[in-house]
Structure 1
């Protein structure tokens, strides 16, 4: 599932592929990914417009133009691809923006759980009004205030997009593993030292993942071992534990992340 680092990489694709270029043609191959706009409306309102500098907030990408904004959420399988006009159309290419310079920005999505909205500035504000601050921009003081004011488990808080925008399941597990905190610990029960450790781990994990353009499955990361049954913790060698916490599949190390609740 695309998380904050993936969406930041998609933002970079818009910058390199489309910013400053005129949208010559919009092809809609599947209206199932459009929300609040028809294929005809998308073409009418975007053809002849120019892509401007995009923005990202959490898992949302704002592909600005000199008119309306294409707001994208990638669900579980969405992505953006920069292609040439002669590249074969993929089975899951849903919308294609052909821009000047013989380039195409393609929205590709297998499962179609989210998609595209076409909105003016007030519409974008309304769509994002319930999103918390972006995880890359939250200060340590605000992060500590957030944790100390929540009753739920710490993993649930990290995943709550209304509290903190951008973290998904992979990032949450990775950050908690690096912090040596059990994912079911109560957020408001963490000590100040533990809250600081968690904040530092979040910042460092995000920086590394953004550079990689994804949550990388490295051997030294929990992410590199979470899919293998019986895999050892990359830090201490203890077999990793798997379960559901807050309704989400969760992986942790019982030795490095003891349950002290």
Structure 2
């Protein structure tokens, strides 16, 4: 599932392919990825517009034009690609934007759980993003501790809650908690000041390593690189990794290292 590092990668794709370019053609191959806007209205409002500087908040990518903006949400399987307009679309390419240099921005999504919104202006963008917490890359240590204070749920559930902190998903949360040596089932409000400090430092280190790669890297020295092994073992102590569903998501951790 695309998480903050993945969307940073999509941001880089957009900067290299779409920024400063005008939209010449809009092909909606599957209107199921459009949210709150029809294919006809999207074409009417977007054709001829020039893209400006894109930006990201959490898992959302905002791409303004000299008129409306597009807000991209990639859900479980979405991605943004740059291709030549001459290249045949893939089966799951749902939205194609042909630019004035002959390239295309393609929104590819197999499951279509989220999609693309059209925001008329900055106020509309703010309204779309209003329910999100601070971006995980920007949140400081003191603010981070304040966001966790009083939260009754498990720490992993809290970290994944986009209204608390925006951008963290399943893989990132498991990795960050493993680095911090904290069990995912611990109550967020029960963490000590020192544990909050350690957790925040782990968040910063993981994002610093992951963002340049545009993904959560499956390195063998990371929990991410072991979680899908037939018999996964902790990269740190070689103990068998545990796995269970927490808030509907598969959660992996080391019973020996994390408490």
Do both proteins adopt the same fold according to a TM-score greater than 0.5, normalized to the shorter chain? yes
Q: Which runs of 4+ in 1 moved over 4 A?
A: none
Q: Residues 102-121 of structure 1 correspond to what in structure 2 (within 5 A)? A: 102-120=102-120, 121=122
**Partners of 1:248 and 1:106 in 2: CA distance:** 29
- Aligned-partner Cα distance in 2 for 1:246–1:257: 19
Please show how residues 72-91 of structure 1 align to structure 2 within 5 Å: 72-91=72-91
Shift of residue 64, structure 1, vs aligned partner: 1.0
Cα offset, 1:46, TM superposition:
0.6
Superposition deviation, residue 246 in structure 1: 2.8
Listed as ranges, the matches of 1:216-227 within 5 Å are 216-227=217-228
- TM superposition shift of 1:73: 0.3
Any residues of structure 2 matched to 1:141-160 within 5 Å, and which? 141-160=142-161
Counterpart-to-counterpart distance in 2, 1:52 and 1:136? 22
Deviation readout 1:76-109 (Å, 9 max, x if unpaired): 1100010011111111111111111111101111
Give the TM-score taking structure 1 as reference length. Answer: 0.97
Q: Which deviates more from structure 2 when the two are superposed, residues 233-242 or residues 119-128?
A: 119-128
Using the size of structure 2 for normalisation, the TM-score is 0.98
Could you say which residue in structure 2 is the equivalent of 1:204? 205
Q: Secondary structure at the match of 2:87?
A: coil
Displacement, 1:127?
1.3
Deviation readout 1:121-164 (Å, 9 max, x if unpaired): 22211111110000001010000111122111111110010000
Q: Which stretch of the first structure deviates more once superposed, 143-152 or 216-225?
A: 143-152
Q: Equivalents in 1 of 2:189, 2:40: separation in Å?
A: 50
> Which residue of structure 1 lines up, in the alignment, with residue 10 of structure 2?
10
**Deviation for aligned residue 1:229:** 3.0
Whole-Å Cα distance in 2 between the matches of residues 123 and 37 of structure 1? Answer: 13
Distance 1:244 1:102 in 2: 46
Which of 165-174 and 139-148 deviates more? 139-148
Please state how far the C-alpha of 1:192 moved relative to its aligned partner. Answer: 1.1
1:1-261 equivalences under 5 Å are 1-120=1-120, 121-258=122-259
| CA positional deviation for 1:247 | 2.9
Gaps of 5+ in 1: none
Give me the CA root mean square deviation: 0.9
Distance 1:209 1:202 in 2: 10
